[in-house]
Amino acid sequence: MPPKPKVTRDDIVQAAFELIRSQGHEALNARTLAEALGCSTQPLLYWFASMDEIRRETYRAADAFHTGFITGGIEQADDPLLALGINYVRFGHEEPHLFRFLFQTDGLGAQDVGALLGNPDLGPMLGLVAQEAGISEDDARTVFLSLFIAAHGYASLLAYNAISFDEELVSMALTSAYMGAIAQLGEKES
């Protein structure tokens, strides 16, 4: 019977995730990953066909972490949509390397804003926006897009340390984006 592998597929993805989280996606290569795992590069190639495959799996792990981060606690918030936006911005501040890996590399592939807004996982949030604002789900997409652009801009600036995190200022900016988008919908209907 062959010996049981000491390094598993999950170990490799977790080590790659932690490497990106602490040093950035640019630091991820076979040598640095093997060093982090305390092994040779052989186990990497045993479990994965290439470094690109490791990056894809690590991207999935980072995306799942991001989703948990931004949705954590929003059910108890007075304004779940605002809480989601603030958590998104906070993620850019607290996890800048992961933010850049997820949103400022080609990990999103050819996904455009239309594909983002068509993501089925967004359905519950769009329903919440529609319900809170008393608007259709199509209009909720427009409102959500305004909020997403404002939150993403703030988070991007924070991920590059261009500004400091001020939750009150972020809250005011996101509220203004929301109210502006709602007001614009009202003007469109008049």
d(CA 29, CA 41): 10
pLDDT tier at 189, thresholds 50, 70, 90: low
Tokens of 26: 């640019």
pLDDT tier at 119, thresholds 50, 70, 90: confident
> Quick check: 109 pLDDT over 70?
no
Residue 182 · residue 143 · CB < 8 Å: yes
Calculated CA dihedral for residues 134, 137, 140, 141, nearest 10 degrees: 180
Q: Picking from 102-106, 146-150, 164-168, which range would have the lowest pLDDT averaged per residue?
A: 102-106
State residue 3's pLDDT score. Answer: 57
State residue 190's pLDDT score. Answer: 58
d(CA 86, CA 175): 10
pTM of the model: 0.86
DSSP state of 162: S
> Quick check: 21 pLDDT over 50?
yes
pLDDT in tens, 46-77: 999 999 999 999 999 999 999 899 988 888 88
